[in-house]
Amino acid sequence: MIPNTSAISRPARLSLSETTNGKRVAAFVVLIGFAALIGKMIASEQWLYVGVLGVIIVALQWPLEAALGIYAFLIPFESLMAYGHGQNATTVNWLVGAASGMALLAKGVATKRLSWPGRPALWWSLFLAWAVLSTLWALQPAAAMHLLPTVVSVALLYLVAVSWKITKREFKVLTAWMVLGGCIAAGFTAYEFTQGITWSSFLGSSGRASLVVGGREVNPNSLATDLLLPFSFAVSLFFSARRWPQALLGIGATGIIASAVYLTMSRTSLLGLAVVICVYLVRVRLQRRTLAIASILVLVALAMPAAFFSRVSESLADRGSGRLDIWSVGLVMVKHYGVTGVGLANFQVAYTNFAGHASRFFGYGRGAHNMYLEVAVEFGVVGMILLLAALVSNLRVLWQAQTAHERRPMYLVAVEASCWAAIVAQFFAGETFAKSLWFTWTVCLMAAKLAQQEKEAAPGETTSYSPIAAMRSAGTATANSTYRFSCRDYC
């Protein structure tokens, strides 16, 4: 006999109000648990754990605005904020980056705010995977294993961050953190320089400005390249300002960051600043605000000490601080290891074996001072192809995002200028896995995704001006009283 299934009672579904109440009760229980845990830590005076727990709570609540924003803020200070000394030191920003990545991943999965990151992320992932794989045949595995945690953390944070469906408000907060960190680092660097505190190289006092705190100091070249991205967004803040207080903030931030870059006397970053200005000239044309930015940079340059002009004029005489001699050795190394490379973080190891090939001996264990040469030597032709493919894909995504808008957003110009500055600067700086460089690639893809989201939110926007489309729009405006035709839409 077949049972009567209609008579079987089915479990009743919870109503929306009951589900919401259940979530509130669960949140309340978790809140009480956190409060009890924090109270116990405070009673035991375990302040470090209290701080860590507070960071976790803030990161989970605002993973992008707070966690990733603080990460961007701390990038110029990374070398100063480290536990331990030497090779065993762990930077605070490494911990903040790890917390940011976990918070973004957890909240992104919970709120369904993760999406496919795009083709540039695929190329960068392949490049990073090949870099990790190269540790298997590294000449000195210990050197590769030392850098491996940094590579893995950079890769994971990049992939999670570019997969996040960012909003315009979140992007503004993130870039505000970035510019604020750059301004504070630049202002403190300039202040220390006026007090006679400068960077000390292995040859003694160099007379170059840098961040020096508590016996720790930041390499001026690294500090200056870290400031290129905040500088570009400071210029963007000035160009996009609609009121004079915002314009003053933009021009002030631009002047402060530019002065610090000048005082570091990093010729690589001076070239990067020039690239940023050239991109803005191409995109926004010559106008009053462009002249204002140029005037600020000229005035800052005129205020520089004589050592600044002396160092710039000696660029060819000192062969780029020996870079030309290092590159000649690097080209010889490419001939020997051009297929698979010498392995992650092994350029200096291999350089020692080929140092005698330099036209002018410049010592042993030298760094590449050129990202492209470093990649060719460490990762071979495969790594070089993946790097170039990733860079081209990045620029292509930016170009597509810009052409999709009739009025190019200023944040896209800022990102494009930063990308080109990084690409050019890395011809003279071997910082393949520097956090500031990878944050530039991160912000680039974030901005492109944001532009795409804005385009999808306004499907009626045309990608280019068309007289026929303008006439049709005018006719639609006559028939539809909810739309007001204005020449601003087309001028």
Q: How do residues 171-185 score in pLDDT, each as one tens digit?
A: 999 999 999 999 999
Q: What is the pLDDT of residue 14?
A: 45
**Is residue 313 pLDDT above 70, yes or no?**
yes
Identify the pLDDT of residue 205.
65
Q: What is the pLDDT of residue 109?
A: 87
Quick one: residue 485, left, alpha or beta (phi over 0 = left, psi -120 to 50 = alpha)?
Answer: beta
Tell me the average pLDDT across 426-435: 91
Contact 216, 182 (CB under 8 A): no
The confidence band for 206, taking pLDDT boundaries of 50, 70 and 90, is confident
Quick one: pLDDT at residue 35? 66
Shortest CA distance to 53 belongs to which of 33, 73, 82, 72?
Answer: 33
Q: 91-121 as b/e, with b when 16 or more CB fall inside 10 Å?
A: bbbbbbbebbbbbbbebbeeeebbeebbebb
Q: Label residue 272 by pLDDT band (50, 70, 90).
A: very high
3-state secondary structure of 406: coil
Confidence of residue 483 (pLDDT cuts 50, 70, 90): very low
- Is the pLDDT at 70 greater than 90, yes or no? no
Query: How does DSSP assign 301-370, residue by residue?
Result: HHTS-HHHHHHHHTTTTTHHHHHHHHHHHHHHHHHHHTTT-S-TT-HHHHHHHHGGGSSS---SS---S-
Q: What is the dihedral of CA 20, 25, 27, 32, to 10 degrees?
A: 170
Q: Does the pLDDT value for residue 370 go beyond 90?
A: yes
Whether the pLDDT of residue 241 is over 80: the answer is: yes
Q: Which of 10-19, 396-405, 450-459 has the lowest mean pLDDT?
A: 10-19
Kindly report which listed range (106-115, 405-414, 466-475) carries the lowest average pLDDT score: 466-475
Percent of the chain at pLDDT > 90 equals 48
Confidence of residue 453 (pLDDT cuts 50, 70, 90): confident
Whole-number pLDDT of residue 364: 82
Question: What phi-psi label fits residue 212: left (phi over 0), alpha (psi between -120 and 50 degrees) or beta?
Answer: beta
pLDDT higher at 452 or 279? 279
pLDDT at 60: 65
Choose between 314 and 59: higher pLDDT.
314
Q: Which of 214-228, 239-253, 444-458 bottoms out in mean pLDDT, i.e. has the lowest?
A: 444-458
When pLDDT is averaged across residues 193-213 and rounded to a whole number, the result is 81
Asked whether residue 424 carries a pLDDT value surpassing 90, the answer given is yes
Query: What average pLDDT does range 84-111 have in this prediction?
Result: 78
The pLDDT tens digits of the residues spanning 278-307 come to 999 999 888 889 999 999 999 999 999 998
pTM of the model: 0.81
Mean pLDDT of 422-451: 93
pLDDT in the model for residue 444 = 94
For residue 104, pLDDT beyond 50: yes
Over residues 332-367, the pLDDT tens digits come to: 999 999 899 999 999 999 998 888 777 776 678 788
What distance separates the 2 farthest-apart alpha carbons in the chain?
103
**What is the residue extent of each domain of the chain?**
24-114, 117-454
Tell me the C-alpha distance between 178 and 253, whole Å: 11
* Average pLDDT over all residues of the chain: 82
Share of the chain above pLDDT 70, in %: 78
Q: What is the pLDDT of residue 393?
A: 95
137 has a pLDDT exceeding 60: yes
Per-residue pLDDT at 417 exceeds 60: yes
86 vs 326, which has greater pLDDT? 326
Q: Inform me whether the pLDDT recorded for 149 exceeds 70.
A: yes
Question: Given pLDDT bands bounded at 50, 70 and 90, which one contains residue 464?
Answer: very low
Q: What is the pLDDT of residue 207?
A: 84
Structural contact between residues 325 and 359, judged by C-beta atoms closer than 8 angstroms: yes
Question: Quick check: helix, strand or coil at residue 91?
Answer: strand
Give mean pLDDT, residues 248-275: 95
